[in-house]
Structure 1
């Protein structure tokens, strides 16, 4: 069985993050997208640490 790939979007602009998500949906990318607004939060997410 294929494993689903999750996407981590690191973007400090809320408007730009929304545009990226719209582009993914438009391209029919159905992967789960997690969004954080800085590198520190991205590293916490990747380490599975609580925010």
Structure 2
């Protein structure tokens, strides 16, 4: 599940023209700066990152 979450977040980042980040946490922080990216979605990505 973690790998799916990472791949999905990276794909979303590419769609939103976010430059590549060094790690998943940085990518999620950048996604969080975008107003229409829902906090619930970010929460799911963070949970997948933490629990694997």
Q: Flag the structure with higher helix content.
A: 2
**Larger-gyration structure (1/2):** 1
Please indicate the TM-score interval, normalised by the length of the shorter structure.
0.3 to 0.5
Give the TM-score, by structure 2 length.
Answer: 0.39
Higher relative contact order (CA 8 A, sep 6+): 2
Q: Flag the structure with higher strand content.
A: 1
Give the TM-score, by structure 1 length.
Answer: 0.40
